Structure 1
Amino acid sequence: MEENQRDAAAAGSEAGEEALVGNVNKLMVTPPGYTGVPRKGHLIFDACFESGNLGRVDYISEFEFDLFIRPDTCNPRFRVWFNFTLENVRETQRVIFNIVNFSKTKSLYRDGMSPVVKSTSRPKWQRLPAKNVYYYRCPDHRRNYVMSFAFCFDREDDVYQFAYCYPYTYSRLQHYLDSLERKNLDYVQRELLGLSVQQRRLDLLTITNPGGPGTHFMLFRHCCSILPTSPAGQHCSISVSRPSLRANVPLESAERLRKIH
């Protein structure tokens, strides 16, 4: 994600919020005015890695922090994705994290979805209990929508990672597509459509039956990430590994999901 400033309108709607330039990098957050030796429980935030996103952290108390996420690369009005790590935690430390500058009013968080978490000792992503996640209008932030979640750390030596949903990085997708090319599958063709603003590949996959004439139909699966939806690479992987899979989503459900997104 490139370094961008948030648009003036959005910045004006957040009391005291400044332009967010760059992700936090091993940022230890301590009480205001604290000059002593860092101790356990002074959380260290980091988002300087692929797919990471966290631009600012405000200390509210030892048990609460306000988090500001950076906007999309090409549109500073959209602020949805977050992905960051935490370390230097204290065992049994219970903390509330408030992501205070979401740009969306409608979110799956209002319908039971919750962020995902993993740690060095438990490397598999798991969803936080929905009862510990809250999506609401906050009077302290001009009634903008805030997503708060509570978490209790249980292992001091672990590094914890939190994300909006299951991350699927550009590098992982490219590695997967490269492996497909090496397999020379007869039903998959990979083409380069062009390059993104950041000079990354825009790939087109054609998945088809290379056989003789017969009755055919065409199915387009658009695998771009549309803001808060699950990473598109997951859909791409499913399409190729299970080419017979068809999208059988009831019309009513599809329309409802589009409204939420």
Structure 2
Amino acid sequence: LAPSRLPWRSPGEPQAPFFLPPPRWPVECEVIQETIEHIEWVPPKPEPFCPPMGLEQARYTLGEEQGTVVYHCSPGNGAWSSTPERLQSPQTPSTVPAPPTALQGSRFIRARVGGAPGPLSSPAAPLEGPQDATLLFESRFESGNLQKAIKVGPYEYVLMLRPDLYTAKHTQWFYFRVQNTRQEPLYRFTIANMAKPKSLYGQGLRPLLYSQRDAQSRGVGWRRVGTDVCYYRGSAGEPPMFRLSWTVRFPHDGDTCFFAACYPYTYSDLQRYLRALAADPARSRYCAVQALCRSLAGNTVHLLTITSPGGTAGKRVVVASARAHPGESGGSWAMRGFLDFLLSAHADARLLRRLFVFKVVPMLNPDGVVVGNSRCSLAGRDPNRAYGMALPGSFPGVWHLRAMVQR
């Protein structure tokens, strides 16, 4: 958890090559070997909002007892059991895996590159043949979050999100892959365990879709999709759960698509950005990249020092950080825009570098980002609520950031 031992380099000095290792995962987490990357694309027009749906229009959606579990993956319990328990309902037989060993109540112990050792399990129900139109779900990749998918109709699915690791709550961020798509049908998806009582999805926001075929053939990336979007209370229990429901048509047959709550920005995305920054002879003159500390999993919490060459004496210091909450991926895109401007040749950027020293932590909670949490770190708690009592062994990023500010 100690800061980097490398000698500090001030902006303007030659940038030594530095190795950016792949992300480290808790050993309970299975991780597919495929590299998930998306092209960057700016829509030609501002994203449209759809007409918000009132609560009176919220539709009833079938539950697990009336459907078939077609995807179930929860860290710590593998996935589909070799002898799944069969549950019968009055309407339709439902096949579910053996009860999971939840991580709630446990704590983080160990991490490694690639997550859980050994061969991967199979969390998705196998297709019965080429005519089987069941979607194939996957979320075991960086920042992914989907715990369960239940097929309740030919083209209708109820989805459950995974709580933040080592907790039983904070279900809001989603990011998952679907394959075996059909172009013609209208699909309905309902996420049944959203945690927040209010959401922009109730005010016209739509989910994001990414089509690999559109990206490869047309250069089109993430875009807002969906009709009949509604966000509503779905249970009367405590704590109450809320539902996000939408309909959509996929752009192609046999496509690989992704859904996400907001534009994903992973730890690996940040690593690629920093690698490009270090290799840029112009921008690296004003920016030194080093490690503030290591996270609980051993991922680097990066610290950028930005100022004009020639020393820092007499300059005031500005501190900026992002991604304390991993589900707020928009913060990383805002941070990237901030860094792009600050390191540019714009006259205002040159003035800012001459007057100030900027200390920037672009991703304060890399572990939470890696595993697809909504709010917490691997300590199972919100790092943004830990500034007053953070210990280096629980919240190393917050502790070292606070210590740097105090110095």
Same fold (TM over 0.5): yes
Which secondary structure does the structure 2 equivalent of 1:171 belong to? helix
Aligned equivalent of 1:167, options 257, 260, 264 = 264
In structure 2, what is the Cα distance between the partners aligned to 1:182 and 1:153? 39
* Superposition deviation, residue 146 in structure 1: 0.6
Number of equivalent positions: 230
Instruction: Answer with 120-129 or 229-238: which moved more.
Output: 229-238
Report the Cα offset of residue 217 of structure 1. Answer: 4.6
Quick one: higher RCO (CA 8 Å, sep 6+), 1 or 2?
2
| AA aligned opposite 2:262 | C
Task: Give the equivalent residue in structure 1 for 2:194.
Answer: 102
2: distance between equivalents of 1:199 and 1:74?
Answer: 17
In the alignment, does 2:129 pair up with 1:37?
Answer: yes
Partner of 2:247: 150
How far apart, CA to CA, are the structure 1 residues paired with 2:153 and 2:341? Answer: 49
Indicate conservation of the 8 Å contact 2:211/2:251, yes or no. Answer: no
CA gap of 1:221–1:75, structure 2 versus 1, over 3 A, is farther
CA distance in 1 between counterparts of 2:140 and 2:285 reads 39
Q: State whether residues 45 and 85 of structure 1, in contact with CA within 8 Å, keep that contact through their aligned partners in structure 2.
A: yes
**Which of 227, 230, 237 matches 1:134?**
230
Q: Unmatched 5+ residue regions in structure 1?
A: 5-13, 31-35, 247-261
* CA displacement, residues 107-146 of structure 1 (integer Å, 9 cap, x when unaligned): 22223222110112222100124x4321111248885211
Q: Give the unaligned 5+ runs of structure 2.
A: 1-24, 30-62, 80-121, 216-220, 343-347, 353-407
Structure 2 counterpart of 1:95, which letter? Answer: Y
**Deviation of residue 186 (structure 1)?**
2.4
- Structure 1 window deviating more from structure 2 (113-122 vs 184-193): it is 184-193
TM-score by length of 2: 0.50
Measured after TM superposition, the shift of residue 212 of structure 1 is: 6.6
In structure 2, relative to structure 1, the CA distance for the partners of 1:215 and 1:158 (3 Å cut) is same
> Do the aligned residues in 2 keep the contact of 1:29 with 1:43 (CA within 8 Å)?
no
Match of 1:195 in 2: 294
Deviations 1:54-109 (CA, angstroms, capped at 9, x unpaired): 11111211132111111223543211211111111223111111111112223222
Whether the aligned pair in 2 keeps the contact of 1:40 and 1:90 (CA below 8 Å) is no
Q: Name the SS for the 1:50 alignment partner.
A: coil
| CA displacement at 1:48 relative to structure 2 | 2.1
For residue 66 of structure 1, give the secondary structure of its aligned residue in structure 2: strand
Verify the 8 A CA contact 2:210 2:259 in the aligned structure 1: yes
1:120 paired to 2:212: yes
Name the CA distance, whole Å, in 1 between partners of 2:285 and 2:297.
Answer: 31
Deviates more, 1:160-169 or 1:220-229: 220-229
Residues 41 and 88 in structure 1, CA contact (< 8 A), matched pair in contact too: yes
Once residues 135 and 240 of structure 1 are traced to their aligned partners in structure 2, the CA distance between those partners, rounded to angstroms, is 35
